[in-house]
Structures are given as structure tokens and as C-alpha cells.
């Protein structure tokens, strides 16, 4: 039986579905990934430990903030792709829960209003203060500069989770619960290198969920898969969901 047919069979047999995504699901929208072989990999040009970390921001706030401004400027012109839309169909028709490592907000743009999108690593579409609870939504058409917090002596920084920072406890707990009770996990576009996010796939597997991996190239999570579908998410997911 072809892998896609096996995957479709799993999809039709199970009720509680979790879709776990990484940067690869947004690659077909033109958003650069973080690693991977494609030349557009975001971090091929920058040292991630230098930029996406509190130490990096502390050392050079303008360099780090300018990197996010560059990424935000890219986001202004991208739209969700057929991979995002296929996942939204699973949310609407099968009550699937989306757990994403992405900060680009593309799942949220097409998700049904009552659907859950658990954002493990925060959002690039907001800034938060380094020192108080003040947050500001970022308008992608009028990107703000590095600036001080209007309420305290802190600085405004992207509302993402940096390396060395803890994930939001409630979000991680909700994601862990979803993975523990899932019958099927569809893993899309992630190298599986970032923790504790990647640990959620192990959690689902231990809870005896079936796992389908959709990825452009082999990943660290392929060993956990019952079915591996290599290809572009924007092509494989519509075929899987039979749009
Ligand atoms: C934590 C937001 C601890 C920011 C991100 C040393 C020091 C500090 C920490 C660590 C350390 N060593 C290890 C750690 C833990 C660290 C970690 O996991 N490091 C890794 C690199 C080894 N984790 C952390 O620091 C986490 N926090 O551990 O806290 C702690 C504990 C107690 C108290 C205090 C602290 C926080 C991690 C969160 C980091 N933030 N993003 C930003 O965006 O700027 S992570 C970043 O990587 C993105 O969110 C991204 O989504 C995520 C994961 O990457 P992927 O999504 O998998 O993307 P990648 O490019 O890797 O892969 C894409 C895949 O898609 C590829 O396989 C490719 O083949 C495929 N693909 C490409 N195109 C397509 C495709 N597939 C399908 N279709 C296509 N078209
Ligand atoms: Zn403040």
C-alpha cells in the first residue's frame, strides 16, 4: 500500500487529531525556514544563539530588533498556503488541535474561529516589554523601531520565546494534554531539533498515538513515524486530506 494511502487510512480511522508544525509548513508561503537544506534557510545567514536569545538582545538590541524587523517585512507580503488550508479543514471538520512552533501567525489567519492554535514559541506579531507586562500589537504595514516601553524603563522586544527562555507554562501544559490524549499526530515541516517542543512528539508516541510525518527531507522525528511522507507540505497535505 502506498504511504499516502496508509496515511489516509490512519486519518479516516482516528478521532482525536493533533497537528504539530514547524517552519517547513510556512516555507511554501515564502517564509524562510530555520535550518534544512534549502538555501533560504533563515539561520544560514545568522547565528541563532546570537540573535534569538536574551543575551543577544542584551548585547546588541538594535541588531536583534532589526533582524525581527526584516522578518516582519517578509511576513507583510506572504499568505497562508494550501498546507495551512488543509490543516484548517482538519480543524473545522475533525476538531484537530494545532500545536505550532511557528511565530508567523499563518495558521491563525485561516483557522476556524473556534479552533485552538497552541503557539509554543509566541508570536512575532506582538512586542512585549523586557521588564513589565506591557504588550503592543505590530502592524505589518507600519513596522515600529526599537523603542523603550511607554510604561517603564524597559525595552520593547518581540513576543517570542528565545533560546534559554522558558515556554509559557499554560500553553505547554495544554499541548502536553493534547498529545497525551491524541489518537493521531500529524507532524509537519519540523527538523525536530528544538526542545521541549520536539518532546511533544515523543509524548504522543508514548501515549500510543499513531504518527504521520510530513517533511521535505528526513528529520529526527522520522523514527517515531508510522508513516513518513516526504514532499512539500503544500502538496502533500491537500493530497492527504483529499481536498
Ligand atoms: C528552554 C522563536 C530552558 C524565536 C524559537 C543551550 C542553551 C539554552 C538552551 C538550550 C541549549 N541547548 C539546548 C537547549 C534547549 C533549546 C534547544 O532546543 N536548542 C536546540 C537548538 C538544541 N531550547 C530552548 O532554549 C527552549 N527553552 O529550553 O528553556 C529553560 C528551562 C528552565 C528555565 C529556563 C530555561 C526555547 C526554544 C524556543 C526557541 N525559539 N523560535 C524566533 O522565531 O526568532 S525556535 C525556532 O526553531 C522556531 O520556532 C522554529 O519553528 C523552531 C524549530 O525549528 P523548525 O520549526 O523545526 O524549523 P527548521 O528550519 O529546523 O526545520 C524545518 C523543517 O522543514 C526541515 O526539516 C525542512 O526539511 C522542512 N521543510 C522545509 N521546507 C518544507 C519542509 N517540509 C515540508 N514542506 C516544505 N515546503
Ligand atoms: Zn515596561
* 119-172 pLDDT tens trace: 999 999 999 999 999 999 999 989 999 999 999 999 999 999 999 999 999 999
Instruction: State the pLDDT at residue 139.
Output: 92
Quick one: CA dihedral 107, 109, 110, 113, positive or negative?
Answer: positive
**pLDDT at position 37:** 53
- Ligand 1, CB cutoff 6 Å, lining residues: 22-24, 27-28, 33-36, 38, 52, 101-103, 121, 160-166, 189-191, 193-195, 215-217, 219, 232-233
Q: What is the C-alpha separation between 236 and 215, in angstroms, rounded?
A: 9
Question: Mean pLDDT, to the nearest integer, of 73-96?
Answer: 95
Percent of residues, the chain, with pLDDT higher than 70 = 94
The residues with which 158 forms a beta bridge, in sequence order, are 127
Q: Which of 121, 134, 173, 202 is catalytic?
A: 121
**Alpha helices (H) in 37-131, listed in sequence order:** 48-51, 54-59, 61-75, 82-94, 106-110
Q: Are 126 and 104 in contact (CB under 8 A)?
A: no
Q: Please tell me the predicted confidence (pLDDT) of residue 41.
A: 56
Q: Look up the pTM and report it.
A: 0.95
Q: Give the three cell numbers for residue 206.
A: 508514548
Residue 32 confidence class, pLDDT cut points 50, 70, 90? confident
Q: Which of 218, 174, 167, 181 is nearest to 35 (CA)?
A: 218
CA 66 to ligand 2 center in whole angstroms:
20
Cell (9 digits) for 211:
504518527
| Cα 34 from chain centre | 11
Asked if 109 and 136 count as a contact pair (C-beta separation under 8 A), the reply is no
Pairwise CA distance, residues 106 & 71, whole Å: 14
pLDDT band of 54, cuts 50, 70, 90: very high
Tell me the pLDDT band of 74, cut-offs 50, 70 and 90. Answer: confident
Amino acid at each position: 500500500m502506498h504511504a499516502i494511502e496508509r496515511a489516509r487510512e490512519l486519518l479516516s480511522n482516528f478521532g482525536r487529531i493533533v497537528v504539530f508544525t514547524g517552519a517547513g509548513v510556512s516555507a511554501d508561503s515564502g517564509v524562510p525556514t530555520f535550518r534544512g537544506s534549502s538555501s533560504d534557510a533563515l539561520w544560514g545567514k545568522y547565528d541563532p544563539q546570537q540573535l534569538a536569545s536574551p543575551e543577544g538582545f542584551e548585547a546588541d538590541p538594535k541588531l536583534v530588533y532589526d533582524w525581527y524587523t526584516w522578518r516582519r517585512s517578509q511576513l507583510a507580503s506572504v499568505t497562508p498556503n494550501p498546507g495551512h488550508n488543509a490543516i484548517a479543514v482538519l480543524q473545522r471538520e475533525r476538531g484537530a488541535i494545532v500545536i505550532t512552533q511557528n511565530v508567523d501567525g499563518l495558521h491563525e489567519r485561516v483557522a476556524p474561529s473556534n479552533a485552538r492554535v497552541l503557539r509554543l514559541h509566541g508570536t512575532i506579531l506582538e512586542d512585549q516589554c523586557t521588564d513589565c507586562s506591557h504588550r503592543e500589537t505590530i502592524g505589518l504595514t507600519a513596522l515600529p523601531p526599537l523603542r523603550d516601553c511607554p510604561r517603564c524603563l524597559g525595552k520593547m522586544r518581540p513576543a517570542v520565546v528565545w533560546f534559554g527562555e522558558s515556554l509559557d507554562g499554560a500553553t505547554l501544559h495544554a499541548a502536553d494534554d493534547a498529545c497525551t490524549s491524541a489518537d493521531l499526530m500529524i507532524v509537519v515541516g519540523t527538523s525536530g531539533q528544538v526542545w521541549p517542543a520536539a518532546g511533544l512528539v515523543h509524548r504522543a508516541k508514548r501515549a500510543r498515538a499513531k504518527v504521520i510525518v510530513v517533511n521535505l527531507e528526513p528529520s529526527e522525528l522520522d523514527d517515531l513515524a508510522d508513516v513518513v511522507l516526504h514532499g512539500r507540505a503544500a502538496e502533500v497535505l491537500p493530497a492527504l486530506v483529499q481536498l
